[in-house]
Structure 1
Amino acid sequence: MSWWVGLLRRSWQSVPHTVLTPAAWLVVGLVAALNASRFVPTARPVDALGIALIVLGPLLLVVRRAHPPAVLVGCTAVLLGYLALGYPFGPVVVPSLVALAEAILRGHRRVAYVTTGVAVLAGLAIQIVVRGGAAGLEGRLGWLAWLAAYVAGCELWRARSERRAQAAAAREETARRQAGEERLRIARELHDVLGHHVSLINVQAGVALYLIDDDPEQARRALATIKDASRDLLREMRSTLGVLRGIDEEPPRAPTAGLGMLDRLVADNEAAGLAVSTSVDADVRALPRSVDLAAYRIVQEALTNVRKHAGAGRALVKVTAADGTLRVVVDDDGAGPPERPGEGGTGLVGMRERATALGGTLSHGRAPGGGFRVEAVLPLAGSGGAAVGAVGARSEEETG
C-alpha cells in the first residue's frame, strides 16, 4: 500500500503548478456551469459559448508566470464577456483573481490596479444595463469589499516575498563576503609562512653547499636548521590547509603563532645571518589573539623582507603597548625593499591588510637613523586590551 502512496506523491510533485491550478479551476468551473440552472434559473443557460469562455480563462492561466499582465487583461476580458452575455455568476471569476494575484506578486502593480478598476466599473455597468438594473448592487458592493481585502492580502504577500528575497540575498552576500575574507586571510598566512621558511631554507642550503667541503660542522648546522625550518613549514602548512578542507582532526599540539614565539623567530633569522635585537614592552600573554597573530606575522614578514631585499646586517624589533594600542616597529640598517610602482610588493600589502583588518595602520619608509622602517599600530580590542597597556616592561637582547 505504501508504494501506492509514494507513486501518488511523486506524480503530484511532478505536475507543474502552472498546469495544476488552471486544471483544478477548469473542473470547478465546468461543474458549476452544468449545475447553474438549478441555482440561478433566471440566468441564461450555459451553452457552448459559455463553456468556451469558462474553459478559456483557465487555459490563459497556463502562461500566467511568463506574461502576467497579458494574462490578467485576457482573463478580465473573458470574465466581462461572460457576464455581459447574461451567464450565471460563479467560479468563472476565479481565473481573473488568480491572474490578479500573479500580476501583483510579479511586480506589475500598475497594470493590476488599472485593469481591476476598469473591470469593476465595467462590471457595475453590466449589472445596471444587462443583469437586472440596480437591484443587485448591494451584493456587488459587498463583493467589492471582499475584492479590496483580497488585493490587500496580495500586497502583503508580495511584501513578505520581497523581504524574504532580500534576506536571502543578504545572507548570500554575507556568505560570499565571509568566504572572500577567509580566502584573503589564508592567502596572507600562506604568503607569510612560505616567505619566511622558504627563504630561510634557501639561505641555509646555500651555506651548506658552500661549506660542505671546508667546514663540514657548519654545513651540518645549516642542514639541521633546514630540517627544523622544513618541519615548521610542514606543520603550519598542514594547519592552514586543514582550514581549507574544513576539518580539525585533532587539537594542535604545537604552539600557535604569536609574539610568544618571537625568540624562536629571532633565532631563525640569526641562523640565516641577520642579527636581530628585540625590545618588548608589553605582556604578550594578555594580547587578544587576533592582535597577537597579526603582530607576529608583521614582524615575521618584515624580517623576511630584510633578509631578502635590504642587504642589512642588523635589525631591531620594538613592541610597545600604551593607550589601548600595540605599536610594532622593525628597523634595519639596509637599503630597504627594491623600488616598485604603487604601494610595494605583496609582503608590504599583506602587512597593511593585516593592520587595517584590525582597524590599525601600517607605514613604511626610511628610518630616522638610516635604513628602513616598518611600523604598525594595532588597536587592542576586547578584554585584555587595558591589561596589556598597564603591564610593565620586559626586554631582551639577542645578538648575532
Structure 2
Amino acid sequence: MFSAVLDSIPLALYRGAADPPARRSRWLAMRMPRWLGLLPFRTIDLVRVADTLLALILFLTTYDRTVNTGVPMALVYVSALGVAVPLVLRDRRPLAAWRSSLVLLPAGVWVSFETGVRYESNPYTPEMVISYLLVAYALAVRCDRRITGTAWAVSVLATWIIFPNSVPLGSIMVGAVMLFGYNVRLRRSATERLVLEERRSQEAMGAQAVLEERARIARELHDVVAHHMSVIAIQAEAVPLKAAGDPAQLEEGLAGIRALSLEAIAQLRQVLGVLRDEEGRTDTAPQPGLAQVEDLIANARAAGLSVLVKRPESLEGVPQAVGMSAYRIVQESLSNAMRHAPGATVVLDIGRDDHGVRLHITNGPGSSPARSPGAGHGLVGMRERAALLGGTLEAGPVPVGGFQVTAVLPIGRGSA
C-alpha cells in the first residue's frame, strides 16, 4: 500500500494523464451560424467559452488590484496569469491546469503579502479560490482516484506551508469539491458501462437473430434439397428400367425428372428470397402449405413409393406458418421413407380440429436395403419446426418394423 502511494505522486505531479473529455450535451455545444461558416470550427463549446470569459474577468480583477501597489509588473502579470491560465486549460488539460495553478499560486500569495496583507489574515484572494476550486473539480472528474487523492494531499500540504491557519478550511473546501467531482466521474463511468452493456446486448441479440435465420434457411434448404434430390435420384434409377428401351416412356420419365428439378429450383428461390434482391425487395412468393401436400404425394408415388392418405375434406383456415411446417414435416417423412425404406408403404394421416393440425406418418420396413445413410438433420429440423409453433413431434421406429412420425401443431396467435 505504501508503494502504491509513492507511485501515485509522480502520476499527479508530472507523469499521469487525464481521461478525454466526456461528450457534451447538445445544450452545451452550439452550432455555428451559417454566416460564420468561414471560421475553422463548426460548433461553439459553451463550457470553454465560459471558462475563457471567467479567466479574462479574474485576470483583469487581479491586475487591477495589484497594478498600482508598487509590486514589480512581472509579479503582477504572473499573479494574474496564475488565476487565468488554469481556467483556460482545465477543460482541455485538467491535470496540466492543476499543475500550473500549483506552480503559479506562490506568486499570487507573494503579491498578497507585498500589497500589505498581514500574515495573520487570509492571503488567498477570491480569484485564487475560485480558480483553484474549479481546476480541482475538473481534475477529479477526469483523473484516476489515485491522482485525485494525491492532488488533494499536495493541496493540503501547500496550504499548510503557505498559511497554516487555513489548513482546516482549505482541506475541507478542496476535499468537498474533489469528492463531488469524483462522484460525477463515477456516475459518468456507470452510464458509459450501461450504454456499452446495452450495445453488447443488442449486438448479441443481432448475432442470435442471424444464427436463427441461418438455421431457418439451412432447415428450409435441407428439406427442399433432400426431398427433391431423393425423388430425382430414385426416378433417375427407375426410369431406364421401367422404359426398357421404349423411347416414349423414357421421354416421359425424363420429363418428370425435369419437372421435379424445376420445382426444386423454384422452392430454393423462395427460400433464398429472404436475402433480398438488389433493389431491397423481398421475395413475396407464397410458401408451400397443406394445399401442396398432394404434389408431394404425387412425386413420391412417381418415384415408386406407395402412399395411402387420410385427410379431412377441408383444411382452410390453417395459418401459413402451421401449413408450411406441416408441409415440411410430410416432405421430410416421405424423403426418409424413400431413402431408408425403399419399396415400403407409407400411411399419411392428416387431422384438423379447432386446436391445431395433427400429422401421423408411418411406413413399414423396406423391401430393399437403404440407399444412403442419414445424418439426422431432418429429424432435428422437424422437431425445431414443431417447437417454434409450441407443438410437439415424436419420431421413432415401430416395434413390428418401420418408422413413424407423430406431430401436433397448435393453431394460436403466434402461428398466424
After TM superposition, the structure 1 = structure 2 runs for residues 61-80 of structure 1, keeping only pairs within 5 Å, are: 79-80=101-102
Alignment of 1:275 with 2:315, yes or no, is: no
CA distance in 1 between counterparts of 2:240 and 2:141 reads: 81
2:363 is matched with: 332
Alignment of 1:266 with 2:297, yes or no, is: yes
SS in structure 2 opposite 1:284? coil
CA distance in 1 between counterparts of 2:105 and 2:136 reads: 13
Quote the offset at 1:81 in angstroms. 5.3
CA distance in 2 between counterparts of 1:22 and 1:346 reads: 63
CA distance in 1 between counterparts of 2:106 and 2:398 reads: 93
Q: 1:347 to 1:231 in 2, by over 3 A?
A: same
Write the letter of the residue equivalent to 2:339: K
Alignment of 1:299 with 2:330, yes or no, is: yes
CA distance in 1 between counterparts of 2:76 and 2:167 reads: 21
1:346 is aligned, of 377, 380, 386, to 377
Write the letter of the residue equivalent to 2:288: A
CA distance in 2 between counterparts of 1:129 and 1:350 reads: 80
2:63 is aligned, of 38, 56, 76, to 38
Quote the offset at 1:294 in angstroms. 1.5
CA distance in 1 between counterparts of 2:206 and 2:395 reads: 34
CA distance in 1 between counterparts of 2:91 and 2:173 reads: 28
Alignment of 1:190 with 2:215, yes or no, is: no
SS in structure 2 opposite 1:278? strand
Q: 1:249 to 1:81 in 2, by over 3 A?
A: closer
CA distance in 1 between counterparts of 2:348 and 2:141 reads: 70
Quote the offset at 1:257 in angstroms. 0.9
Q: 1:289 to 1:275 in 2, by over 3 A?
A: same
SS in structure 2 opposite 1:377? strand
1:239 is matched with: 270
Q: 1:249 to 1:294 in 2, by over 3 A?
A: closer
CA distance in 2 between counterparts of 1:287 and 1:147 reads: 68
Quote the offset at 1:39 in angstroms. 6.0
- The answer to whether the 8 A contact 1:205-1:226 is kept is yes
1:313 is matched with: 344
SS in structure 1 opposite 2:413? coil
CA distance in 2 between counterparts of 1:46 and 1:136 reads: 30
CA distance in 2 between counterparts of 1:36 and 1:127 reads: 23
- The answer to whether the 8 A contact 2:394-2:405 is kept is yes
Q: 1:96 to 1:302 in 2, by over 3 A?
A: farther
Write the letter of the residue equivalent to 2:409: L
CA distance in 2 between counterparts of 1:243 and 1:23 reads: 51
Alignment of 1:215 with 2:246, yes or no, is: yes
1:65 is matched with: none
Q: Where do 5+ consecutive residues of structure 1 fail to align?
A: 63-70, 104-110, 386-400
Q: 1:125 to 1:338 in 2, by over 3 A?
A: farther
Write the letter of the residue equivalent to 2:142: E
CA distance in 2 between counterparts of 1:145 and 1:233 reads: 75
2:10 is matched with: none
- Cα distance per residue 1:33-53 (max 9 Å; x no partner): 8646326649975649x86x9
Write the letter of the residue equivalent to 1:130: I
- Cα distance per residue 1:273-323 (max 9 Å; x no partner): 111122235963333322221121111011111112222331112233569
What TM-score do you get using the length of structure 2 for normalisation?
A: 0.67
CA distance in 1 between counterparts of 2:51 and 2:333 reads: 76
Write the letter of the residue equivalent to 2:365: G
CA distance in 2 between counterparts of 1:327 and 1:165 reads: 47
2:162 is aligned, of 98, 111, 130, to 130
- The answer to whether the 8 A contact 1:86-1:131 is kept is no
Write the letter of the residue equivalent to 1:330: I
Quote the offset at 1:270 in angstroms. 0.5
- Cα distance per residue 1:223-261 (max 9 Å; x no partner): 232232122222212222221135446742xx5311221
Q: Number of aligned pairs?
A: 356
What is the RMSD of the two structures over their aligned residues, measured on CA atoms? Answer: 4.7
SS in structure 1 opposite 2:254? helix
CA distance in 1 between counterparts of 2:370 and 2:386 reads: 19
CA distance in 2 between counterparts of 1:213 and 1:358 reads: 48
Identical aligned pairs, as a percentage?
A: 28
Larger of the two Rg values belongs to structure: 2
Q: 1:100 to 1:28 in 2, by over 3 A?
A: farther
- The answer to whether the 8 A contact 2:97-2:135 is kept is yes
Quote the offset at 1:183 in angstroms. 1.2
What TM-score do you get using the length of structure 1 for normalisation?
A: 0.69
Q: 1:123 to 1:229 in 2, by over 3 A?
A: same
CA distance in 1 between counterparts of 2:390 and 2:194 reads: 33
SS in structure 1 opposite 2:199? helix
Quote the offset at 1:190 in angstroms. 1.1
CA distance in 1 between counterparts of 2:210 and 2:153 reads: 56
CA distance in 1 between counterparts of 2:57 and 2:179 reads: 25
SS in structure 1 opposite 2:350? strand
After TM superposition, the structure 1 = structure 2 runs for residues 194-205 of structure 1, keeping only pairs within 5 Å, are: 194-205=225-236
Q: 1:356 to 1:249 in 2, by over 3 A?
A: closer
Q: 1:6 to 1:356 in 2, by over 3 A?
A: farther
Write the letter of the residue equivalent to 2:306: A
After TM superposition, the structure 1 = structure 2 runs for residues 55-204 of structure 1, keeping only pairs within 5 Å, are: 58=89, 79-80=101-102, 82-83=104-105, 89=128, 90-91=130-131, 94=134, 96-103=136-143, 111-112=144-145, 115-116=147-148, 119-120=151-152, 123=155, 126-127=158-159, 130-131=162-163, 133-134=165-166, 137=169, 149-204=180-235
1:206 is aligned, of 229, 237, 246, to 237
SS in structure 2 opposite 1:329? strand
